[in-house]
Structure 1
Amino acid sequence: MSNNGSKVGCWIAISILALLLFGSFLTNVGLMAAMFAGGSSAAAGHDYAEDQYPLYDEVWSYGSGETKVARIALSGVIMRGRQERLFGHEPDMVQQILYEIRAATWDEDIKAILLEVDSPGGAVTPSDEIYAALKRFKAADEERVVLVFVRDLCASGGYYASMAGDYIMAEPTAIVGSVGVIMQTLNMQGLGEKLGLSSVTIASGENKDMLNPFEEVDPEHIELLQDLVDSMQDRFAAIVQASRGLENRELLDGRVFNVEQALEHNLIDGVGYWDDAVVKLAELLGKEDLKVIRYYQQMGFWDSLFASKTPTVPNFSMSAEPPRFLYLWKP
């Protein structure tokens, strides 16, 4: 009995010690969180609109000149929405790019943006938003320049946004182009009939239920949507024609080009690597050397603790998303 009693006492002591250690851990975490929150509160106390005037820390990236250039990455599919993680989330990539361009626009010392593109394109409106933001950056100072540097892929919406550039340089193995609009969906009427599934839809009009996957495709619906696709393509092609000085739209039919073909057809201005892009940008600005910076925003305590090391959460609702118009290369 005494032996059993001593074991019970030992386990009780261990449990109490574990609780004390866990309590100490929570206390330390709380103190650290309070410190970070205190810093954030101090920053939030500034008298300015945070979304209108986003603030970033600057990392000196390249060069030793006095003329400041901001390097901004346009990478991946151009789509709004935050990728959820098990704890926290990744930022909205479109919002991030727009904020960085806005920060550069308000900084009078920034004389150029080096836009590094590696994107197949994406949604129509976000691509146009990035293009418009770059145009506003240049409009704020007539001496400003935007140089687009294509790393691997600059297609569709990525190319659309690049039309705000004064000069486009692509790496020798890059792919460029795909000027066009696409809209895709699935029709499962045949499968539904085999499985005994049918659609029950209550709509306010005959066109409200367009592209119902369990109904036969209506040619009139296709015609209506084709008109929308054509109007979006007209805008895309007109912007490319004006920016690149093209006489017609013969090549603007969705095809992609290697750099030799793109250079031949005036879809880009030069071929080179990142160092070459910096040299060319200095030349455009009339400077011998530049000071290239990139933006960095410190993460909050919980974001830095959890978000960067936790897995992403699968989005099981993707199949339920409606079809959308895209400036996207989808080979």
Structure 2
Amino acid sequence: MTLDRFIKLLKLSILGVFLMAEVYVVYRWYDARYAKSASASKHYKLTIEGAITVEMSQRIMKKIEALMRKGEIDSLLLVFDTPGGSPVASDNLYYFFKGLQERIPVTYYVNSSAASGGYYIASGAEKLYANANAIVGSVGVIMQGINVSELAEKWGIRDETLTAGAYKQMISPLKPTSEESIAYFKENILGPTYANFSSIVALERNITKGEEDSYFQGRVFIAGDPRIRGKLVDEIISYPEIVALEKARHNTDTLRELEYKEKYGSWLQMGAEALFKVAEERMGASIR
């Protein structure tokens, strides 16, 4: 190879490197610009997924309030994929989103289910959208428990829990529950919780006293059922359609996912949260 040919090849190589660098710079500029545009969207989508717990409700409210303080949220699509959960958490989120509607547009959409505590929250919608096959309703209260007293007796296991106060331990899996205890819990926990729940849904969905038995008492419905149209659900629409509708309403190409779940660093932490959730659900009535 002659010297001239070597110099020409060297120049071409250098030119090629510069061209590749220029292409890379332009690509990064466009990529950064697109990413900035997407992240700059102030229109969000939040999915309430799984069992509703107090801890979940606190995280959701804290996250949204932080965005509100910074002026970084202009609208919210609230999606339901929940069977219900804690009555306290459901009540807190019901009032929170009711108040939020007075500050920014909030659209409520039932994707797979808004049952019990989920419907408690969803009932506050100015207009409730749902998938035709979604499950809604289940306006009722449940307090679950198991009794293994016969098995315990067979194996020689006795409950020797010490208490002070006649009502301190009225239910135990190791002894039969008395009729008096059952009546007490129905009167003082299940009954009042159900009354609060049903009164809010009746008010929000314009359900009269004469109609309550048709929609309440723990009844569940498919959202597309014409019998509940205009009562438990207002309009049937698919998930892609509601997303497209929200984008068109707010003239945006992007609905940002509002993440509220914790990202744990170990299985130990995940297990701890699961145990706390189980304890929370076992300590009180559950709206589901």
Q: Residue 265 and residue 254 in structure 1: after superposition, are their counterparts in 2 closer, same or farther (change >3 A)?
A: farther
Q: Deviations over 1:136-159 (max 9, x none)?
A: 2124x3xx3321111111101111
| Residues 100 and 73 of structure 1: CA distance in aligned 2, closer, same or farther (over 3 Å) | farther
Check 1:197–1:118 CA distance in 2 against 1; reply closer, same or farther (3 A cut).
same
Post-superposition CA distance 1:7-38 (Å, at most 9, x none): xxxxxxxxxxxxxxxxxxxxxxxxxxxxxxxx
Give the distance between the partners of 2:268 and 2:67, measured in 1 at CA.
31
Task: Confirm or deny: 8 A CA contact 1:157 1:327 kept in the other structure.
Answer: yes
- For the residues of structure 2 that align with 1:220 and 1:178, how far apart are their CA atoms? 27
Query: What secondary structure, in the 3-state scheme, does the structure 2 residue paired with 1:102 have?
Result: helix
Residue in structure 2 matched with residue 113 of structure 1 by the alignment: 76
| 2:196 match | 235
Pairing partner for 2:50 from 76, 81, 85: 76
Q: Decide whether aligned partners of structure 1 residues 238 and 73 sit closer, same or farther in structure 2, where only a CA change above 3 A counts.
A: same
Quick one: percent identity of the two aligned structures?
A: 26
Within the candidate set 218, 221, 229, 2:178 is matched to 218
TM-superposed deviation, 1:123: 1.0
Counterpart contact for 2:43–2:76, Cα < 8 Å: yes
Alpha-carbon deviations, 1:86-118, whole Å to 9, x = none?
xxxxxx533332223323443546343210110
Structure 2 residue 222 is matched with structure 1 residue 258: yes
* Contact 1:71-1:293 at 8 Å conserved across structures: yes
Map of 2:38 onto structure 1: 60
Structure 2 match to 1:269: 234
Which has a greater percent of helix?
2
- Determine if the alignment matches structure 1 residue 189 to structure 2 residue 149: yes
- CA distance, structure 2, for counterparts of residue 72 and residue 244 of structure 1: 23
Contact 2:229 2:235 (8 Å CA) reproduced: no
TM-score (normalizing by structure 2): 0.73
8 A contact 1:77–1:122 mirrored in 2: yes
> Aligned partners of 1:162, 1:203: CA distance in 2, in Å?
41
Q: Secondary structure at the match of 1:224?
A: helix
| 1:319 to partner: Cα distance | 8.6
Distance in 2, Cα, partners of 1:247 & 1:273: 29
C-alpha separation between the residues in 2 aligned to 1:232 and 1:69? 35
**Pairs within 5 Å for 1:1-331:** 60=38, 68-80=42-54, 92-106=55-69, 108=71, 110-139=73-102, 141=103, 144-227=104-187, 228-248=189-209, 249-250=212-213, 251-261=215-225, 263-264=228-229, 266-278=231-243, 280-281=245-246, 287=249, 289-290=251-252, 292-295=255-258, 306-307=265-266, 312-313=270-271, 322-328=282-288
Q: The residue matched to 1:110 in structure 2 has which SS?
A: coil
- For residue 170 of structure 2, give the secondary structure of its aligned residue in structure 1: coil
- 1:117 and 1:154 in contact (8 A); partners too: yes
Q: What is the rounded CA distance, in whole Å, between the counterparts of 1:111 and 1:96 in structure 2?
A: 19
In structure 2, C-alpha distance between the alignment counterparts of 1:168 and 1:221, rounded to whole Å: 39
Q: d(CA) in 1 for partners of 2:280 and 2:63?
A: 32
Task: Specify the alignment match of 1:46 in structure 2.
Answer: none
Question: Structure 1 residues 155 and 148 mapped into 2: Cα distance closer, same or farther (>3 Å)?
Answer: same
- 2: CA distance between counterparts of 1:280 and 1:321? 37
Deviation at 1:200, TM superposition (A): 0.8
SS in 1 for 2:76: strand
The normalised TM-score by structure 1 is 0.64
| Shift in Å, 1:235 | 0.7
Contact 1:183/1:323 (8 A) holds in 2: no
SS in 2 for 1:73: strand
2:112 aligned counterpart, secondary structure: strand
